Each structure stands twice: as C-alpha cells, then as structure tokens.
Structure 1
Amino acid sequence: MADIDLQPFFVGVKYWLADGSEHVITAIGEVLPSDALLEKPEKEPTQDELIQQFTLDIQIRLDDFARTRNYDNCLSCCTYAVSAISKFATEAQYMIERRDANWSIGYEILSAVQSGSRSIPSKAELFNELGPLEWPN
C-alpha cells in the first residue's frame, strides 16, 4: 500500500487575529494559527465614537418624542413656535424647552467625560439623567 500524504484542508476558512485583521486560508496544508479567532473580534469603541453615539442618542430621543405628536422630528416641531394655531405654537415652545434642557444636560455630561471626571453613561443612564419627555396636557 502506498503512503498517502494527508494534509490539512482548511482552504476558504476565514479567521481573524486579535488586532482585527481578517484572513482566509488559500492553500492546502495551511492551518489555522494558534491565535486565530473564528469570529470577528469586537473592538472597543474609541472616545470619539462614544461621543458621536452619545450625541446621536440625544438627537434621536428628541426626534422620536416630536414624532409622538406627528411632527417629522424635533426641528420640524420647533418651527411651529410662531404658528398662528395655538396648539402648534404651544407644542413647539415645549419642544424648544425640552430640546434646550436635554442638550444643556448632555453637554454638561460630555464636558465631565472629556475632562475625565466621569465615564460616559450608558444610553439608559443618559436618558435617566435627561429626565422624562412628556407632553403637557
């Protein structure tokens, strides 16, 4: 019986290294490195990415709140501040007050984060600090 040269066959297998680099095995006999990861590693977000998400969360929260009264978004609602229809003008003024309060608190938090005196809050923690958004009756 002839000797058969069996070689590992991992051709096409995709793997990642801890630095996030992606690799694919292309040759018969090539094996996975001992430090290979079979799933893409989650990278920690940078401070800039965290800040970007933080500000986006505030804006989405305000936009979603405005939509509960059928405005396109926060900005759309605020444009009704000079409306001749008192309901719209009242809602716009309230939205402006909520917008200003949310961004004021948000920027205070952000300043503390950037100075290193606190860590960036989770979305739930942030919304708790911003307080509830409820339309007045």
Structure 2
Amino acid sequence: METYVTYLPDGSLDGCFIQEPPEEHADRMIPVEPAVALNWCTYRANEARDGVELAPPAPAAPPEVLDYTAAVQAMLDAKPKERRYDGILSACTYATSTVPRFKAEGQACVEWRDAVWARCYQLMADVEVGKMPRPTVDELLAMLPELMWPE
C-alpha cells in the first residue's frame, strides 16, 4: 500500500489515496507522508511535480465586499424586528408555522431574503465585469428589493 496524491496540469491536487496505485495514476502521482495525506487539500504539486508544497492561501475578499455583505445582513436582520422577530433567520423559520399570520410573514421573509441576496450577487457580478461602477454601501442597499409585509 502506498500513500500518494494525484495532481492536475495546473499543479492543484485532485485526490489522495492509500492503495496500490492504478495504472491511470502512474503519470500524475506523488508519494506523500501520512501527515501530508491528512491535510492534502492544503498542498499543491511543486513545479518539478516530484513533491508537494503548501498551496498559496485563497485571496481574501476585498474589504468593500465584506462591508457590503455585513450591511446587507444587517438590513435583512433589522426589517423583521418591525414585527418583533429577532431577525431574518427567526422570521424565516415561521414559514412553516401553523398560525396563518406568522406563516405568511415567514414566507414573505424567505422570499425577500432570497431576492435580496440574488440581486446583491448580480450587482456584484455586474461590477466585476465593468457593467456598472462600484456602488457605495448606501447605494447598494438602495438597489435591493424591499420587504412587502403581507396584509
């Protein structure tokens, strides 16, 4: 039995195995120690493809994206408090309530939450491809759907 990883052409690892290597792994495998095998997804093949090295960390989200998501989440949590829910998560759980008013309000919150995040992600994609300039947090929030409470 051998412990090894397999890699893709770009050097990223796509598997870790403890077995007799099958023929199809022969040209893209690197033997590794058990400690590396336990954390294989944090490694990549080295340039020579005869060993592994720690993969570079994933790039962090730009600070403005973190500001956007925090602001959107705060907006989502604030609106249900108008009707004495703890926040969006609490309100959404009422979509399965047996009380008709709570059920309708909970379903409205589920639909609103989904519409808000879908629109937010679409706007961010539009910014990334240059379809629109990067909005301020307030401008972004103004472009998102509003919650319409059921009557």
The one-letter code of the counterpart of 2:112 is: R
- Kindly indicate which of the two structures has a greater share of residues assigned to strand: 2
Post-superposition CA distance 1:99-130 (Å, at most 9, x none) = 01111100001112222332221223212211
TM-score of the superposition, structure 1-length normalised? Answer: 0.61
Q: Does 1:70 align with 2:76?
A: no
Post-superposition CA distance 1:9-30 (Å, at most 9, x none) = xxxxxxxxxxxxxxxxxxxxxx
Q: Does 1:86 align with 2:100?
A: yes
Unpaired segments ≥5 residues, structure 2? 1-59
TM-superposed CA distance for 1:47, in Å, is 6.6
User: Contact 2:112–2:146 at 8 Å: present in 1 too?
Assistant: no
Q: Which residue in the other structure is 2:143 paired with?
A: 129
Q: Residue 114 of structure 1: which of 101, 107, 128 is its match?
A: 128
- CA–CA separation in structure 2 for the residues paired with 1:136 and 1:122: 30
Alignment of 1:1-137 (within 5 A): 48-137=62-151
Indicate the structure (1 or 2) with the bigger Cα radius of gyration: 1
Post-superposition CA distance 1:57-90 (Å, at most 9, x none) = 1111010011111111101110111111111110
Q: How many residues align?
A: 92
The one-letter code of the counterpart of 1:54 is: Y
TM-score of the superposition, structure 2-length normalised? Answer: 0.56
Unpaired segments ≥5 residues, structure 1? 1-45
Task: State the identity %.
Answer: 35
- CA–CA separation in structure 2 for the residues paired with 1:95 and 1:103: 12
